[in-house]
């Protein structure tokens, strides 16, 4: 996709303009149909019976009493769906309903379809399950020390799901060059997505035994795959329609047990079956932020230049694999794309525990290491007596470069981001100069604009768009992408409208329907604007080409003169000579037949050719810098975040209002993670979720939200449509560390873990007052045996992105 073809240099009419979303009116007036709003004749309602014990063998399930309740139509258990599934090919470890073992409180064991929700709910209590309880694994430490009982019978060893060890260049040589080496330990507590819409799904088998599933999913393509496999039907007989999601944030990215259960129940009963999860059940679905313990060793020169970094992460994965292997690699992947790290080692471990499964949440595996990295950089600057903003700016990764771990950085606007927030916040007058109790901090971040590799490795496009033009001038854009509130439907319309010179609201957008739309892999990894945008751009340019030929012929004008704008196609040298857009389509249809074009996008090949190199590469990286000003009450430890300045390098804003919405939403979510959110469990053995409800799981409200001043940095990236990069996830990354760094400036306390609750700040203040280290956080990380490192020579060392063979390493 060449940048030069985008708009032929004429001024942009749609891109960069604050148009409303194409679905805004329907959302505001309540016309949008979410999954739970869909009602079909003869529809049944389903409920899942979930385990109330954290780890047990299922000795017996008796559903006869439930089946005999009036209004109950069908009951299924694990043996009805014996085929396992899971989002990653390497972790096919879930069953729709547990067959012989439950692994966390909330694991489903039976599903009921009844004439109404109340009856289904009542019938749950009539299912008799006999459990033989097993010892539980409740933490990373316990998983390391207890191989038995094993939660799963696969994984690297005992209850360790995955261990990885990568080394890029000689880290020891790097540390030998350092003037200062810091070693710090951090902990990032788990938290959950909290979408407003609870997951819901509706399944219908039709008379030809073809299946349609409507579901609030971010990944209809992967649900499609799982359904065909588990239900043992041809994929061509499965249609998945992702309904508009009332928020996703990564929590609707796995194929889920409730989705498969309603399909099976519909097949058995011959009636449509719907399920809507309760808020409590959404907490059990989880797939949220992994709790991660991190140990970071970094060597620097006196000017803050990093000579080497050794990063260890320990992830508490919960009961299933989910995206966990990818999450593990992500905790080690993106450290290198902000500040130059010439030599880098990453060791990561993911443990299985008897808790709700963790997975991808906004930032997927990168907010935790970013928290550690940005605080450690702050500590290094403090120790070296350098300004943390200046120190960072001096050592940024240059644009168009290749990092030590083979990530190809294109445009890189972090310098401009830092400059912007430093100037806007009055950093130079405030840092280290505010009175005790007030403080200011800085942190940065970076994120992918889409994963460079698909979940199932293949050479096919990651995103496809089909465009249909009709003789009335109607334009329909069809794409598998899913609008989860981020505005991806609107992005498709804006891009096509720009290319064809029409109004975005002239366009009909049909998305996320596996029967009607070409495959898009899903709304995850901040991939949609870049990938579907490029596919839409290609499809629209191809359509414009057809129209151009027909119009040029009609107007007897040179092809290169034909321009599209204001719903017209005309000769740019004689703008009064032209045809309306509908007539242009008519002419093209007369000349070529029915007008339809396709576009698709495949990311460029990755430079990382080593095992594990599939996680991290992206066509482009976004950058953010944030500064926070806080007030800390030294008597109670309460932190009030007064203001955040944040600059985000988005390449090119397709719609600046939507971009700012994503930035502010990220700040909001980051504040919750920084200050209060906590996916915590009760007890050492029973592992009950402490508060699976919005009453007690605390997330900020508008009243806790601080003022946010947002700046967009637009350094166009040649990989993106019109130069666009991601914005949905990246701006969250600097928020947790920026709060921690600001608190240090305010009261001199390092809180090296989130959430930063008042009692932790107070404990740090007290420790300082008693002459101890004014710090709250973990003191050590487990000492374990890691697998032998996969050595990769860095680009600077002349490496080619492949692992160095073992015998060479040991020469």
Footprint of other proteins (CB under 8 A):
117-118, 121, 278, 280, 635-638, 676, 678, 680, 690-691, 693, 695-696, 698-701, 703-704, 757-759, 762
Q: Are 726 and 449 in contact (CB under 8 A)?
A: yes
- CA separation for the pair 534, 723 (Å, rounded): 10
Place of tokens 């409507």: 214
Q: Are 431 and 387 in contact (CB under 8 A)?
A: yes
Place of tokens 């040589």: 173
Report the nearest approach of other proteins to the CB of residue 86 (Å): 29
Place of tokens 């219908």: 204
Which DSSP state fits 628?
E
**Cis omega (within 30 of 0) for bond into 415:** no
Nearer to other proteins, 690 or 806 (CB): 690
Nearer to other proteins, 198 or 490 (CB): 198
Report the nearest approach of other proteins to the CB of residue 482 (Å): 27
Q: Are 50 and 280 in contact (CB under 8 A)?
A: no
Report the nearest approach of other proteins to the CB of residue 699 (Å): 8
Tokens linked to 509: 């957008």
b vs e for 403-418, b when ≥16 Cβ sit within 10 Å of the residue's Cβ? bbbbbbbbbbbbbbbb
Place of tokens 């992918």: 448
Report the nearest approach of other proteins to the CB of residue 137 (Å): 23
Nearer to other proteins, 617 or 637 (CB): 637
Longest dimension (CA), the chain: 88
Nearer to other proteins, 594 or 693 (CB): 693
**Cis omega (within 30 of 0) for bond into 755:** yes
Number of H helices and number of E strands within the chain?
Answer: 20, 34
3-state secondary structure of 700: coil
Nearer to other proteins, 778 or 801 (CB): 778
Nearer to other proteins, 207 or 695 (CB): 695
**Cis omega (within 30 of 0) for bond into 306:** no
Helix (H) or strand (E) holding 538: helix 528-555
Report the nearest approach of other proteins to the CB of residue 112 (Å): 15
Report the nearest approach of other proteins to the CB of residue 94 (Å): 25
Neighbours of 555 (CB within 10 A): 18
- Of 660, 785, 661, 786, whose CA–CA distance to 712 is shortest? 660
Nearer to other proteins, 452 or 637 (CB): 637
Nearer to other proteins, 199 or 393 (CB): 199
3-state secondary structure of 656: helix
DSSP β-bridge partners for residue 376: none
Q: Are 350 and 121 in contact (CB under 8 A)?
A: no
Report the nearest approach of other proteins to the CB of residue 701 (Å): 5
Tokens linked to 119: 């009856």
- CA separation for the pair 649, 318 (Å, rounded): 34
Nearer to other proteins, 277 or 781 (CB): 277
φ and ψ at residue 101, rounded to 5 degrees:
-150, 140
Tokens linked to 287: 């797939």
Report the nearest approach of other proteins to the CB of residue 667 (Å): 16
- CA separation for the pair 519, 134 (Å, rounded): 43
- CA separation for the pair 332, 335 (Å, rounded): 7
Nearer to other proteins, 499 or 762 (CB): 762
Helix (H) or strand (E) holding 432: none
Nearer to other proteins, 70 or 207 (CB): 70
Nearer to other proteins, 578 or 692 (CB): 692
Report the nearest approach of other proteins to the CB of residue 633 (Å): 9
Report the nearest approach of other proteins to the CB of residue 774 (Å): 17
Report the nearest approach of other proteins to the CB of residue 121 (Å): 8
Report the nearest approach of other proteins to the CB of residue 234 (Å): 37
φ and ψ at residue 128, rounded to 5 degrees:
-100, 120
Nearer to other proteins, 506 or 704 (CB): 704
Report the nearest approach of other proteins to the CB of residue 269 (Å): 23
Neighbours of 519 (CB within 10 A): 19
Report the nearest approach of other proteins to the CB of residue 694 (Å): 10
Tokens linked to 641: 């975040």
- CA separation for the pair 60, 547 (Å, rounded): 67
Nearer to other proteins, 476 or 705 (CB): 705
Instruction: Count Cβ atoms within 10 A of the Cβ of residue 301 and give its class: 0-12 exposed, 13-18 middle, 19 or more buried.
Output: middle
Nearer to other proteins, 19 or 45 (CB): 45
Report the nearest approach of other proteins to the CB of residue 117 (Å): 7
Neighbours of 771 (CB within 10 A): 7
């Amino acid at each position: 996709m060449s940048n030069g073809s985008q708009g032929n240099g004429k001024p942009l009419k749609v891109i960069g303009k604050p148009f409303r979303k194409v679905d805004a009116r329907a959302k505001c007036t309540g016309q949008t149909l979410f999954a739970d709003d869909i009602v079909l004749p003869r529809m049944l309602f389903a409920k899942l019976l979930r385990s109330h014990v954290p780890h047990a063998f299922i000795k017996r399930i008796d559903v006869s009493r439930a089946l005999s309740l009036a209004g109950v139509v069908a009951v299924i258990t694990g043996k009805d769906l014996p085929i396992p599934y899971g989002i990653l090919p390497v972790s096919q470890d879930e069953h729709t309903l547990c067959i012989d073992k439950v692994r966390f409180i909330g694991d489903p064991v039976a599903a009921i379809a009844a004439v109404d929700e109340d009856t289904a709910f009542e019938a749950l209590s009539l299912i008799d399950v006999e459990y033989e309880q097993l010892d539980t694994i409740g933490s990373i430490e316990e998983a390391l020390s207890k191989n038995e009982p094993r939660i799963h019978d696969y994984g690297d060893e005992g209850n360790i799901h995955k261990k990885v060890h990568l080394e890029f260049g000689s880290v020891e040589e790097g540390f030998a060059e350092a003037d200062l080496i810091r070693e710090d330990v951090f902990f990032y507590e788990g938290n959950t997505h909290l979408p407003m819409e609870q997951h819901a799904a509706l399944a219908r088998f039709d008379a030809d035994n073809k299946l349609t599933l409507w579901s609030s999913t971010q990944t209809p393509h992967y649900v499609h795959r799982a359904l065909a496999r588990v239900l043992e039907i041809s994929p061509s007989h499965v249609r998945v329609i992702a309904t508009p999601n009332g928020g996703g944030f990564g929590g609707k990215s796995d194929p889920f047990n409730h989705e498969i259960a309603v399909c099976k129940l519909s097949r058995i009963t011959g009636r449509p079956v719907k399920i809507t999860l309760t808020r409590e059940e959404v907490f059990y679905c989880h797939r949220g932020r992994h709790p991660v313990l991190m140990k970071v060793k970094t060597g620097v020169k006196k000017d803050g230049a990093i000579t080497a970094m050794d990063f260890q992460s320990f992830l508490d994965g919960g009961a299933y694999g989910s995206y966990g292997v990818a999450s593990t690699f992500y905790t080690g992947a993106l450290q290198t794309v902000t500040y130059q790290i010439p030599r880098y080692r990453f060791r990561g471990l993911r443990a299985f525990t008897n808790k709700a499964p963790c997975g991808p949440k906004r930032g997927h595996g990168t907010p935790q290491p970013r928290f550690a990295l940005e605080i450690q950089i702050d500590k290094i600057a403090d120790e070296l007596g350098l300004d943390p903003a200046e120190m960072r700016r001096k050592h940024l990764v240059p644009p168009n470069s290749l990092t030590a771990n083979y990530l190809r950085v294109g445009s890189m606007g972090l310098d401009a981001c830092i400059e912007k927030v430093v100037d806007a916040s009055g950093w130079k007058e405030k840092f280290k100069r505010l009175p005790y109790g007030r403080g200011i901090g800085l942190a940065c971040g970076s994120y992918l604009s889409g994963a460079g590799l698909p979940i199932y490795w293949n050479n096919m496009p990651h995103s496809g768009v089909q465009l249909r033009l009709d003789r009335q001038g109607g334009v329909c854009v069809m794409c598998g992408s899913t609008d989860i509130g981020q505005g991806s439907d609107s992005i498709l319309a804006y891009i096509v409208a720009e290319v064809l010179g029409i109004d975005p609201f002239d366009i009909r957008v049909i998305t996320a329907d596996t029967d009607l739309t070409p495959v898009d892999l899903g709304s995850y990894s901040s991939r949609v604007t870049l990938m579907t945008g490029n596919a839409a751009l290609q499809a629209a340019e191809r359509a414009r080409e057809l129209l151009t030929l027909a119009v040029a012929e009609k107007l007897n004008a040179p092809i290169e003169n034909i321009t599209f704008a204001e719903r017209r196609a005309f000769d740019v040298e004689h703008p009064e000579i032209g045809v309306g857009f509908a007539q242009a389509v008519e002419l093209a249809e007369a000349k070529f037949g029915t007008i339809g074009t396709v576009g698709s996008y495949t990311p460029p090949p990755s430079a990382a050719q080593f095992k594990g190199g599939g996680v991290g590469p992206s066509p482009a990286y976004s950058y953010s810098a944030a500064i926070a000003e806080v007030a800390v009450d030294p008597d109670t430890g309460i932190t009030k975040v007064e203001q955040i300045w944040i600059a985000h390098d988005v390449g090119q804003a397709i719609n600046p209002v939507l971009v700012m919405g994503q930035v502010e939403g990220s700040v909001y979510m980051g504040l919750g993670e920084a200050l209060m959110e906590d996916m915590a469990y009760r007890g050492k053995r029973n592992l009950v979720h402490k508060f699976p409800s919005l009453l007690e799981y605390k997330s900020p409200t508008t009243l806790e939200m601080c003022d946010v001043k947002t700046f967009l940095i637009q350094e166009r990236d040649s990989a993106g449509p019109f130069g666009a990069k991601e914005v949905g996830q990246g701006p969250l990354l600097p928020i947790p560390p920026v709060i921690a760094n600001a608190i240090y400036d305010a009261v001199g306390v390092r809180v090296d873990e989130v959430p930063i609750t008042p009692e932790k700040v107070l404990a740090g203040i007290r420790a300082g007052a008693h002459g101890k280290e004014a710090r709250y956080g973990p003191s050590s990380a487990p000492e374990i045996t890691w697998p032998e490192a996969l050595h990769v020579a860095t680009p600077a060392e002349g490496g080619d992105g492949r692992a160095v063979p073992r015998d060479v390493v040991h020469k």
